[in-house]
Amino acid sequence: MKFITIKKRTLCAVLMILVTICSVVGVCYAVRATSLPKPNRTIVIDAGHGGRDGGTVGKTTGVSESKLNLDYALELKNLCQQFGFEVVLTRSSMDGLYDESASNKKKSEMEKRRQIINNSGADLMISLHMNSFPLSSASGAQVFYAKGSSLGFELAKSVQNALSQNFENARDYVSVGDYFVLNYSTVPAALVECGFLSNPEEEKLLQTKQYRQEFCYSVLYGIISYFDM
């Protein structure tokens, strides 16, 4: 399994050089002038799971989904802020969002996420997760949107296109996802399954700094492309 390093020449074929990021694996990236985010653009980044709900677990290393979701959320937050976006995180630690006294902690958790997303005044929401499947051969990032959400579809498609251009195992299509954070979001929303922890090779890749940086840059590129529609 390989991921394709994002090359300057590839991006410059469609973008004008204006702003560069040289901190991601030593490669500079170009962004079109019209793609620069406006100061009032806000993004919610939702790191799935947390606290008692660790999500799925890596089959080889035992890494928890909740930890990787947070790692990717913090990486994406850093990149988004470099581009001038305001960022709201649903969680910034390994703690859960649920009320400890709640009898149904999952419901409490989801309600808190809904409140954060919908009260943020954000322009869009990206939810980050890790996938799992009984067949260990399953691999690749895939992006979901809420049924009936045309803006959610456009956002998901933009992010998926960026991922499929730079990672050979990423899906080249988006899918409807029946997820709470998508269904109850009042802003355009996409849920990104970054990869499969049930795939031993992908599980290891997902834990490397280089892969995380390039993956999150691709998500950022998809977000900028969405705003520039």
Joined together, the tokens standing for residue 145 give 């949107």
Q: Which residues pair with 142 in a beta bridge?
A: 193
Instruction: Provide the pLDDT for residue 40.
Output: 77
Contacts of 86 (CB under 8 A, 6+ apart): 39, 40, 41, 42, 43
130, 44, 182, 63: CA torsion to nearest 10: 10
- What CATH number should be reported for the domain holding residue 147? 3.40.630.40
Asked if 190 and 156 touch (Cβ cutoff 8 Å), the reply is yes
Instruction: Give a yes or no: residue 99 inside a domain.
Output: yes
Count: domains in the chain: 1
Instruction: Give a yes or no: residue 59 inside a domain.
Output: yes
Instruction: Give a yes or no: residue 18 inside a domain.
Output: no
Q: Tell how strand 189-196 and strand 142-145 pair up.
A: antiparallel
CA separation for the pair 116, 118 (Å, rounded): 6
pLDDT tens-place values along the chain, 229 residues long: 554 444 433 343 333 323 334 434 433 344 444 455 555 799 999 999 999 999 999 999 999 999 999 999 999 999 999 999 999 999 999 998 898 888 999 999 999 999 999 999 999 999 999 999 999 999 999 999 999 999 999 999 999 999 999 999 999 999 999 999 999 999 999 999 999 999 999 999 999 999 999 999 999 999 999 998 6
pTM, entire model: 0.85
CA separation for the pair 220, 95 (Å, rounded): 25
**One-letter amino acid for residue 165 of the chain:** Q
Instruction: Provide the pLDDT for residue 36.
Output: 55
Instruction: Give a yes or no: residue 43 inside a domain.
Output: yes
Listed residue (129, 149, 23, 10) closest to 70, CA to CA: 129
Instruction: Give a yes or no: residue 98 inside a domain.
Output: yes
Joined together, the tokens standing for residue 31 give 């962004």
Domain containing residue 124: 39-227
**One-letter amino acid for residue 41 of the chain:** R
